[in-house]
Amino acid sequence: MKGWLQRLRARDLDRELREEMQFHMQMRAAEYEQEGMSPQNSAAAAHKRFGSTSIVHEDARREHIGGAASLVEAAGRELGFAFRSLRRAPAFTAAAVLALTLGLGGAAGVFSVVDRILFRGLPYADGNRLIAVGVRAPLADHPFLLGGDYAEWKEERSALAGLTATSEPFDCDLTENNPIRLSCAGVASTFLPLFGVEPIAGRNFRPEEDLPKVPQSIILSNALWRERYGGDPKIAGRRVQLNGEPATIIGVLPASFEFPTLAQVDLLIALQLNEAVERKRQAVSMVNAFGRLKAGVTMEQARAALEPFFANFLTTITPSFRKEVRLETGWLNDAMRGRARTAGWVLFGAVAAVLLIAWTNIANLSLARAASRAHETAIRAALGAGKARLMMHHAAELALVAGAGWLGGLSLAAVLLAVFRKTAPAGIVGLRHASLDLRIFLLSAGALLASVLAFSLLPTGTVSRRMRLRSTLVTAQVAISVFLVASAGLLIHTLRELSDIRFGVRTDGTVTASAVLGQQKYRTVADRYAFVERLESALRRLPGVSAVAVADELPPLTAGIGIMYGSIGVDGRPPSGQGRGGNVNLRHITPGYFRALGIELVRGRPFVAAEIDSAQGTVILSDRLARRLFPNQDPIGHSVKPVGFPKAYTVVGVAADVKNAGLTAEDAPEMYFPYDSTRSAPRFVSAVVRSAAKPALVARLMEDEIRAIDAALPLTVGPFDSRIAKLNARPRFNAALLSMFAGIGVLLAALGVYGVLAFLVTQRVREIGVRMALGATRGRVAAWILSYVMSWTVVGLALGAAGAFAAARQFRSMLYGVTPADPWTLGVVVVLLACVSALAAYVPARRAATLDPAATLRQE
Amino acid sequence: MSQGTAQNTLDLLILKTLARGPNHGFGITVHIQNASEGLLRIEEGSLYPALHRLERENAVSSEWKASENGRRARYYKISAAGRKRLEEHEGQWQSLSLGVARVLDFA
C-alpha cells in the first residue's frame, strides 16, 4: 500500500515537473515570438535555450527528493534514471533488447546442445583412453571384428587394458502383458567394467551369463526402467519374456549412459558369443570391438600391437579379398561424435557469428545513442558531472538493456532447447541430457558483463571517428551474415537434393508394417514361412488394396544380408574371384513386391506364386547387377549360382535400380529371391500394402489383421513416406538450425544498416541541405546515400563470401549434391544481402531526398 | 568551496527575487536578467534543481496558480525560514563582495 502511494506521488512529481518545464518553454517561445520569430522557430529556439529537459527533470527530481544517502541508493537512483531515460528512447531500447534476446537466446539454446557434442567428456570413466578397433571391409559400412578374431584379439595385453565387444543394436520384443518393440544390444560381460559404467540398481553380467545358450539376462536402460517399470528399485531379479523366451532383469543403467554408437538402446543383453565355434570359423558373427589403452600407451603403439593379430586375420580369408580389407583403430571419442562433431562445429560457428552480429548491433546502437545525446552530455559535463559520472550513466543504461536481454535470451533458449529435443533426430550425443545449466547461465552473464564494460567505454572520440567505427561494424555484420546465410543455403540445397532423390519406388498410397519373428514361437524356417503366407493372404482382404507384398526388408534399407559380387558364378562357370567386387544385396520377396512398390521391371516378368518354395530356383536381378554380370547380353534364361547356395537360379526378370543402401550411398546391386521355405525365411518381416484408402485407416486395419494372426507380436506400422522422412531427419535438423541463425543474422544486420544510415542522415541534414541548395537533385542525394551504404556493404559481401567458401570446405561431409563453392547459392546469398542492405537504406535515403533544403539551412 | 559559493549565490538571487512576491521559474529568470540589466543569465538547468532543493529545505513553498496569460504555472513563495536565510546570505554576500573589492583595489 505504501509502495503504491509512493509510486503515485512519484508519478505526480514527474507530471508536475514536465508541466513546469513546458510552461517555462512556452513563455520563452512567446517572448521570442514577440521579438519577431516565426512560431515554429521560436518554439525550437526556446527548447534549445532550455537545454536537455531530461537532465533538468532528473536533477530537479533528485533535489526534490533529497540527496544520495548511500551507495546502494545512489546506484538505485542511477538505474532509475537510466530506466526513465531508456523509456524516453523506446526505439533504441527495443532494438537493443531484441538484438540481445535473439543473439543470446539462439546462442545459449544451441550452445547447450553443442556443448555436449564438442566439449564434454564421454559419459564413460576416463573415456579418453577408449578406442574403437575393427577391420574395414566392403561387407559392412562400419568397422567390425568377426567373432573368432575378437576371441583372439582380446588376448592382446601389452597395449590394451582390455578389449570388449557389442553387437549392433537390433529389434527385440518384450512379450509379457502388453508387447512392446524395443531396441536391444548384446554386450560382452566385460563391456560395462571396461567403459567404467556402474549399474545404478542390480549388477553387471556375470561371465557365466555371457555363455552361449544360457537363459538371457537383461540390463534395462534408465528410460525404460522409469517408463515401463515405474523406476522400481527392486527390479533386479524380475523374470520377463524377451522375444518369447524367459529372461531375467539383473540391473539398470545410469541415465547418463550412451551406447558407443549413439544408437537408441532400450536394453542390454549378454552377447553370448560361442567363442569355441567362432574360433574354428564354424559360425561367423560380426561384433563391434572397443578397447581401453593402458596408461602411457599411444594410439600408434596400440595399432602396432594389433598388427600381428590383423596379419593373422588376413591369413584366414581368401587371398583376393585381402586387398579390400584394412585395420582400423581410432579414438572412441572421434568415432562417436563423428559427423555430429562437424555439425556441432558448424553450429558453434553459427552461434559465435550471431553473437558477434548482436554485439556489433548493440555497439552500434549505443554509439548512435551517445551521438544523439552529445548535446545533453556536454551540458551535464558543463554542470559539473564528471566523466566518470557520465560513463556510469551510460553503463547503467547498458546494464538495464543487458539484464532485459539476458532474461529474454534465456527464456528464448529454454524454448529453443525444448524444440530441439522434440525435433532432433536420434544419435546426437547427449541431447537427452542437454539443459540450460549453471555453466550456460554464467557464461552468458559473463559475456554480457564484458560487453557492457566494453561498450560503456566506446562512445568517445569525434563524430567522424564514431562514424568510421560504425561503418566498420556494419561491414562486419554484412560479412558475417553472408557467411551464415551461405552456409544455411548450402544445407538447404543439400536437403532439397536429398528429398529429390529418386528412390525408384512409388511411395504414395503405400503403408508398411514390420516385425521380427521371435525365436520361440517361430523356431523353424517353416514356422516363419507359414506366418509370411498367412500375413499376405490376410492383407489381401483389406479394402481398396491393389497390391500386397512381403519382404525381409524394404528399401532404402538393406536386409542386412549380402554376398560378394565375385562369389557369383554365371551359367555353370566358377565365380570370377571370391570375396571381391563389392557387396550384392539379397532380398526375399513375395510375387506382388514390384507391383506394390511400383518398381519397374526392365525385362522379363515378376515371380509367380508357383515359384515360391519350388525346387526350380528363379531369381530377379537389379538392372545394375544384370549389366555387370551379363554385359551386352539379355540375361533372361541364364543362370547364376552364388558360392554356398545349394543350386543355380534362372534369371526370370530384371528390375529397375532402387535406392537400397541408405539415402546418399550408391545403389548397391541386388538379387531378389522368392521365399523358399527349404532354404531360408528370415526373421525380419516387412509387409507393404498399396491401397486407395486413407493411409491412417489402412495402417489400423493392417495392425488388426496382424494382431489376429499373432496378438503378441510387436509391430511398427506407418506410411512408407515416414520411413524416408526419418532418414532425412538429421540434415533437416541441421538445415533448420542454421537457417534460424541465418534469419536472425540477416535481421540484425538489416537493423544495423538501417540504424547507421538513419543516424547518418540526421547528422548530415545540413550537408544534404547545402548540396541540394547548390543544385543536387533528389535522385542524386538518394544515390549519394545509397553509394555510401554500398561502399561498405560490398566489402562485407566480398569478405563474407570468401569466409563462407572457406567454412563450407570444412563441412563438406554434411553436403550432398552441392559443392562448397556452389556459385548459385553464393550468388543468391550475395544478391539477397545486397537487397536487404538496400532496403534498410531506403527509408533514410528517402528521408534525405525529401528534405526541404531551405528548412534544413534555417535550422541552425 | 567554489560550487558552494555558486550555489549560495544562486539561492540568494532566487530568494531575493521571491522576496518581492511569489513568482514562477520563468518569471524569476526574467526578473534576474532585467534587474541585472542583462549581466546575469540564469541557466534553467541550475534554476529548477535549485528551486526544488529550496522547497525541500522549506525555504520556499510552491503552489499551482493561473499565470498572467491564464495558463497553470507553479508559483514559488518565500517562507519565513527563507527570509531568515536571505538576510544571512545577504549579509555574507555584502561582506564577501566588500572584501573582494578591497583586495582588488589594494593592488
Residue A766 has pLDDT above 90, yes or no: no
Using a CB-CB cut-off of 8 Å, the residues of chain A touching B52 are 60-61, 63-64
Q: What confidence score (pLDDT) does residue A503 get?
A: 66
* Dist. CA A437–CA A397, nearest whole Å: 28
- Rounded to the nearest angstrom, the gap between the alpha carbon of residue A531 and the centroid of all alpha carbons in its chain is 40
Amino acid at the residue A189: S
H or E stretch at A689: strand A684-691
The residue with cell 560382452 is A188
Most confident of A673-677, A742-746, B54-58: B54-58
Query: B30: nearest CA in chain A?
Result: A28
User: Which residues, 6+ apart, have CB-to-CB distance to A202 below 8 Å?
Assistant: A219, A235, A236, A237, A249, A250, A251, A252
The residue with cell 570446405 is A809
Strands, E assignment, A203-285: 216-220, 239-242, 245-252, 267-270
Q: Let me know: does A597 contact A549? Beta carbons within 8 Å.
A: yes
* Dist. CA A752–CA A620, nearest whole Å: 64
- Give the tens place of pLDDT for each residue, A408-452: 888 888 888 888 777 766 555 556 666 777 777 787 788 777 777
Residue A384 has pLDDT above 70, yes or no: no
Taking Cα atoms as reference points, which of A578, A482, A562 lies closest to residue A805?
A482
Positive or negative: CA dihedral B26, B28, B34, B39: negative
Q: What is the DSSP letter of A608?
A: -
Three-state DSSP class for residue A665: coil
Least CB–CB distance from B44: residue in A51, A63, A65: A51
Q: What confidence score (pLDDT) does residue A816 get?
A: 73
Q: Let me know: does A559 contact A585? Beta carbons within 8 Å.
A: yes
**Whole-structure pTM value:** 0.58
Residue A390 has pLDDT above 80, yes or no: no
Mean pLDDT of A306-324: 82
Q: How many CA atoms lie within 13 A of A757 on its CB side?
A: 30
Q: What confidence score (pLDDT) does residue A10 get?
A: 62
CA-based R_g, chain B, Å: 15
- Give the tens place of pLDDT for each residue, B91-104: 888 888 888 888 88
pLDDT band for A301, please (50, 70, 90 cuts). Answer: very high
Q: Let me know: does A476 contact A359? Beta carbons within 8 Å.
A: no
Three-state DSSP class for residue A374: helix
The widest CA-to-CA distance across chain B, in whole angstroms, is: 54
Peptide bond into A556 cis (omega under 30): yes
Mutation target to probe the B interface, by most B beta carbons within 10 A, among A27, A54, A57 is A27
Query: B2: nearest CA in chain A?
Result: A384
Q: What confidence score (pLDDT) does residue A257 get?
A: 86
φ/ψ bin of A669: left (φ > 0), alpha (ψ from -120 to 50), beta (otherwise): beta
Q: How many Å lie between the alpha carbon of B9 and the closest alpha carbon of chain A?
A: 15
Using a CB-CB cut-off of 8 Å, the residues of chain B touching A384 are 3
Q: What confidence score (pLDDT) does residue A229 get?
A: 87
* Dist. CA A139–CA A590, nearest whole Å: 26
**Cell output for A168:** 549392433
Q: For helices A39-50 and A2-34, give the axis angle rounded to 10 degrees.
A: 130
* Dist. CA A72–CA A91, nearest whole Å: 29
φ/ψ bin of A183: left (φ > 0), alpha (ψ from -120 to 50), beta (otherwise): beta
The residue with cell 555436449 is A116
Using a CB-CB cut-off of 8 Å, the residues of chain B touching A26 are 71
Average pLDDT score over chain B? 85
Residue A87 has pLDDT above 50, yes or no: yes
Most confident of A455-464, A512-521, A632-641, B1-10: A632-641
Most confident of A66-75, A373-382, A840-849: A840-849
* Dist. CA A458–CA A370, nearest whole Å: 9
**Percent of the residues in chain A that have a pLDDT greater than 90, as a whole number:** 10
Mean pLDDT of A835-851: 78
Q: What confidence score (pLDDT) does residue B3 get?
A: 43
Q: What confidence score (pLDDT) does residue A620 get?
A: 92
pLDDT band for A68, please (50, 70, 90 cuts). Answer: very low
Q: Let me know: does A516 contact A681? Beta carbons within 8 Å.
A: no
Q: What is the DSSP letter of A817?
A: S
Q: What is the DSSP letter of A606?
A: -
Q: What confidence score (pLDDT) does residue B40 get?
A: 81
Taking Cα atoms as reference points, which of A458, A671, A657 lies closest to residue A568?
A671
* Dist. CA A519–CA A826, nearest whole Å: 56
* Dist. CA A785–CA A848, nearest whole Å: 8
Residue B1 has pLDDT above 60, yes or no: no
Q: What confidence score (pLDDT) does residue A251 get?
A: 94
Residue A395 or residue A11, greater confidence: A395
pLDDT band for A802, please (50, 70, 90 cuts). Answer: confident
* Dist. CA A344–CA A122, nearest whole Å: 15
Residue A728 or residue A801, greater confidence: A801
C-alpha distance across the termini of chain A, in Å: 50
Mean pLDDT of A222-243: 88
Cross-strand bridge partners of residue A287? A145
The residue with cell 602411457 is A296
Residue A472 or residue A557, greater confidence: A472
Supply angle C-alpha A380, A382, A386, rounded to 5. Answer: 65
Supply angle C-alpha A685, A690, A691, rounded to 5. Answer: 130
Mutation target to probe the B interface, by most B beta carbons within 10 A, among A15, A53, A63 is A63
Mean pLDDT of A789-799: 84
Residue A106 or residue A191, greater confidence: A191
- Cross-chain Cβ contact B56/A19 below 8 Å: no
Mutation target to probe the A interface, by most A beta carbons within 10 A, among B41, B52, B64, B65 is B52
Q: What confidence score (pLDDT) does residue A174 get?
A: 81
Using a CB-CB cut-off of 8 Å, the residues of chain A touching B53 are 63-64
- Give the tens place of pLDDT for each residue, A139-158: 666 788 888 899 999 888 88
Q: Are strands A216-220 and A245-252 parallel, antiparallel or unpaired?
A: parallel
Mean pLDDT of B34-61: 86
Residue A463 has pLDDT above 60, yes or no: no
pLDDT band for A860, please (50, 70, 90 cuts). Answer: very low
Average pLDDT score over chain A? 79
Mean pLDDT of A531-558: 83
Mean pLDDT of A298-310: 92
Other C-beta atoms closer than 10 Å to the C-beta of A525 total 16
**Cell output for A679:** 532354404
Residue A81 or residue A310, greater confidence: A310
- Give the tens place of pLDDT for each residue, A551-567: 887 877 665 566 777 77
Residue A552 or residue A453, greater confidence: A552
- Give the tens place of pLDDT for each residue, A37-55: 888 888 888 888 887 777 7
CA-based R_g, chain A, Å: 36
Using a CB-CB cut-off of 8 Å, the residues of chain B touching A50 are 44
Q: How many Å lie between the alpha carbon of B95 and the closest alpha carbon of chain A?
A: 27
Amino acid at the residue B95: S
pLDDT band for A466, please (50, 70, 90 cuts). Answer: low
For chain A, say whether B67 makes contact (Cβ under 8 Å). yes
* Dist. CA A452–CA A402, nearest whole Å: 7
Q: How many Å lie between the alpha carbon of A21 and the closest alpha carbon of chain B?
A: 9
Q: What is the DSSP letter of A505?
A: S
* Dist. CA A778–CA A772, nearest whole Å: 8
User: Which residues, 6+ apart, have CB-to-CB distance to A419 below 8 Å?
Assistant: none
For chain A, say whether B46 makes contact (Cβ under 8 Å). yes
**Cell output for A155:** 588376448
The residue with cell 544481402 is A833
Q: How many Å lie between the alpha carbon of B106 and the closest alpha carbon of chain A?
A: 33
The residue with cell 503504491 is A4
User: CA torsion angle for A227, A231, A236, A239 (degrees, to 10)?
Assistant: -40
Q: What confidence score (pLDDT) does residue A707 get?
A: 85
* Dist. CA A448–CA A303, nearest whole Å: 47
Mean pLDDT of A687-697: 86
Q: Are strands A286-293 and A201-202 parallel, antiparallel or unpaired?
A: unpaired
**Cell output for A498:** 536429398
Q: What confidence score (pLDDT) does residue A1 get?
A: 47
* Dist. CA A8–CA A25, nearest whole Å: 26
Residue A459 has pLDDT above 60, yes or no: no
Q: How many Å lie between the alpha carbon of A56 and the closest alpha carbon of chain B?
A: 5
The residue with cell 558475417 is A480
Q: How many Å lie between the alpha carbon of B44 and the closest alpha carbon of chain A?
A: 6
Most confident of A242-256, A330-344, A394-408, A503-517: A242-256
Residue A653 has pLDDT above 70, yes or no: yes
Q: Let me know: does A460 contact A381? Beta carbons within 8 Å.
A: no
pLDDT band for B2, please (50, 70, 90 cuts). Answer: very low
Mean pLDDT of A727-740: 72
The residue with cell 564494460 is A453
Mean pLDDT of A55-69: 71
**Residues recorded for chain A:** 860
Mean pLDDT of A519-547: 83
* Dist. CA A225–CA A255, nearest whole Å: 10
In terms of Cβ atoms closer than 10 Å to its own Cβ (0-12, 13-18, 19+), residue A319 is: exposed
